[in-house]
Structure 1
Amino acid sequence: MRHLALFILGLIALPALALTNVDLYQTEVVLDQTIDNADAQARVEGMKQVIVRASGDRNAVSNQVVQKALRQNSQYVAQLSYGQVNGAQSLRMSFSAPQIRSLLSQAQLPIWPADRANLLVWLVEESHADRNIIWEHSSSAVLSQMKHQAESRGLPLTIPVGDFDDITGVEVSDLWGGFIQPVGQASQRYPVDAVLVVKAQGNSLRWTLYDQRPATIGVTRQSPLAGSNNGSDAAEKMIHQLSDYYAKKSAVVVASESSEAIKVRFTELNDAVSFFTLENQLKKLSSVAALDILKIQGNQVTFNVHLLSSQQEFEQEVRRLKDVVQRESVTDEPVVMLADVEVIEPSNEPTSPDSSMPDTAVEVAAPSEVIPAVEVTPEKVVPAELILMFEWQGKPYVAPVPVESESEVTSDAALAKPDVISE
């Protein structure tokens, strides 16, 4: 028992790693029973919430690639179940984390990692002549708005519990007046990464974010972030600003490499207009996330197509295009990747005569230049890949010929006609 107590004390003494792992891929949406296909609409709404939460970008759902994926939302759903929210039926959804991350990378959207900064919130509300600290169990519309919006954005918040240590550790005047030393000391009992002080007056909020560990508040010279918001949704605006700040600070954009990518070659593209027409048609396909041009040779173009769906669905969509006909697929030649190239220089030492040769004098003409031997060690062999073949059958582009108007023709004829002098 003694050893257990010492172990626990040791853990308390160690600096806490306060980053909180947020569940990004689960959500719950109330079903709108007044519309048809309420479940389908709820899946779209749930996927939008997950994409915003995972990317940290409120505008991510407007991305063209994401818009295509929303129409195929069922392939991103991992689990579904029904629940209740305030007496209304809801749909609980769990989305596939690898597929959502792959979608974000295909759309060139940032990925905000699930390990996120935890904010301790000191909220003071002013009503009439009183100012009160809002604790975790307090009834507060502002706090409810903050919690709801923070959960939607995936921003972890910690609210002080309001026990004896909290009540005696900090005063309302300290929070309202911006006295940071007592605020930092009172916050040290919570394993958080930052401290947020919010002052609410009616529909107005003023806030200060100390983006640092509580133990360093008032000790270092790090400047806090401050802002203000107005209106009935002031708390939601504040959470959006804070979420955008942390997402920009921590999110990364992953290269647009997709595990679902195929090579596709189109032939008979005899002019630039045909190429751009085809490219635009391919980008509009719901199965296509992005296109990379691998090679242009003569009237052939080879694309690397990143898919949002299966190869079969892609082929079906391409076959439905007006001016495209599918041909038999071909296999690309394997490529040998060279590693080290070692050049073996010729030796300048005289070569001893072969003992098996007779002792007759042999005159050998020395070459003017000795070509060194080259030893090549292959690093790896890239296996052959299947290339889907299609033929473009659109009509070639014909530049319009300017047509002269009748008045211009008449005037030209008049200029060409010789003058007639009447007597």
Structure 2
Amino acid sequence: MRLGQFLFVGCLSLASLVSHAETLNGLYQVREPVSSQSPQERDQATQRALETLVLRLTGDAKAAQGPGLAEVRKDPQQIISQYGYDAGPPESLQVDFDPASTDRALRQAGLSLWGSNRPSILGWWLSDSTEGSNLVGDGQASAEPLRRAAQHRGLPLRLPLGDLNEQIVATAPNLEGADPAPLREASERYGADALLAVHAREEGGQWQAKWRLWLGDQKEQGTVQGADTGALADAVLLAVSQRLAPRFVTRPGVSSEQLLEVQGMNLERYASLGHLLEPFGAQLRSVDGDRIVYRVNGSAEQLRAQLSLAKLQEIPAGQAQSLPATGVEGSTPAAFPDSGAQLRFRW
């Protein structure tokens, strides 16, 4: 298939993505609670919104106060497209930041950015209070603080249905245990990239939680506290965001330009791969049968983490030329010439 033909029909398939990761909507929209609509309160909330956004995009708690963003802190309006008030509850100032202006300002400040394509997280959240123990299910009112916190911290969070079988699995020992096997089995039907287990307890009017996160073979864990369930959820998801961000951010001045080859392509996969590679400034170099080559800017570790979200498998260098072509109608299992790619993957 010619390159032009591939691109033309590939563009038609953008609506049917098959990646396991999610493109997060509303990434540049921030809500910050306010007590009034006074100009002073609005200015303070706008500054908080800027800090929330920078942390959401970089995973770096100190980034918003860096010298590179001094002019933006002085005049946030230069990267804001609009703002308004949300009646809530709670009442909030909603600030819509312009994605292009924001990204440009952050990159000029030398900051690392995490794109909108992020790993989907299935959250198993068990709350113990004086009223008893409750697994937070997707349709429960108790799910709202978790969803609000996930949006605030820029994470695509899913919740289980919370049916009887899941309640039997989501016990405190399983949520706090080092072996995710029981939860993984119950999570398979949801198709998420990462598994988050949280055991929250109320003690003396305060909340605390132990959390564990599994993404592939990597594990993170921690303990947080909060004045109420909303604050606790925000603290958990903030911690998760800060642990995940370093795996996916594109670092200015550190990333290198290299060629990436992917085998086993078809039209749906072409669209999905394009979204996954957006943070790396991918430029299409060639298409040969079911094999595609991009020029990208990013470290090998960043690319491996990003492509793992779509379950791509890396091809060892010694096997790269021996794999047969599959996927695109009319392709043949002939040996391909060397593309010069430093990294090779296949679906």
| Matched ranges for 1:160-171 at <5 A | 160-163=160-163, 166=166, 170=169
Distance 1:185 1:34 in 2: 48
Deviation at 1:189, TM superposition (A): 0.7
| Matched ranges for 1:43-54 at <5 A | 43-54=46-57
Answering whether residue 182 of structure 2 is matched by residue 189 of structure 1, we say no
| Contact 1:105 1:255 (C-alpha < 8 Å) held by counterparts | no
2:122 corresponds to which residue? 120
Structure 1 portions without partners, runs of 5+: 1-14, 213-221, 257-423
Deviation at 1:123, TM superposition (A): 1.4
Answering whether residue 22 of structure 2 is matched by residue 27 of structure 1, we say no
| Contact 2:226 2:235 (C-alpha < 8 Å) held by counterparts | no
Distance 1:196 1:250 in 2: 18
1:240 is matched with which residue: 238, 241, 245?
Answer: 238
| Matched ranges for 1:213-292 at <5 A | 222=217, 224-230=219-225, 232=227, 234-255=232-253
Distance 1:115 1:130 in 2: 37
Aligned length: 230
Letter of the 2:116 counterpart: A
> CA offsets per residue over residues 95-132 of structure 1, 9 Å max, x none?
21111111111111111111111111111223469543
| Contact 2:31 2:152 (C-alpha < 8 Å) held by counterparts | no
Deviation at 1:74, TM superposition (A): 1.9
| Matched ranges for 1:22-171 at <5 A | 22=24, 23-33=26-36, 35-86=38-89, 88=91, 90-127=92-129, 131-140=133-142, 145-163=145-163, 166=166, 170=169
Q: Which has the higher contact order (CA 8 A, sep 6+)?
A: 2
Answering whether residue 202 of structure 2 is matched by residue 207 of structure 1, we say no
C-alpha RMSD of matched pairs (Å): 3.3
SS at match of 1:224: strand
| Contact 2:122 2:194 (C-alpha < 8 Å) held by counterparts | yes
SS at match of 1:65: helix
What's the TM-score once normalised by structure 2's chain length? 0.57
1:172 corresponds to which residue? 171
**Worse-superposed segment, 100-109 or 120-129:** 120-129
Deviation at 1:155, TM superposition (A): 1.7
> CA offsets per residue over residues 23-78 of structure 1, 9 Å max, x none?
22112345553754544444333333222222222222211221321222222122
Deviation at 1:183, TM superposition (A): 1.6
What's the TM-score once normalised by structure 1's chain length? 0.47
Letter of the 1:97 counterpart: P
Distance 2:114 2:248 in 1: 6
Distance 2:31 2:176 in 1: 40
SS at match of 1:103: helix
Letter of the 1:244 counterpart: Q
Deviation at 1:194, TM superposition (A): 0.9
The percent of aligned pairs where both chains have the same amino acid is: 24
Compared with structure 1, are the counterparts of its residues 98 and 226 closer, same or farther at alpha carbon in structure 2 (3 Å cutoff)?
same
Structure with greater helix share of residues: 2
Distance 1:188 1:77 in 2: 40
| Contact 1:66 1:107 (C-alpha < 8 Å) held by counterparts | yes
SS at match of 1:189: helix
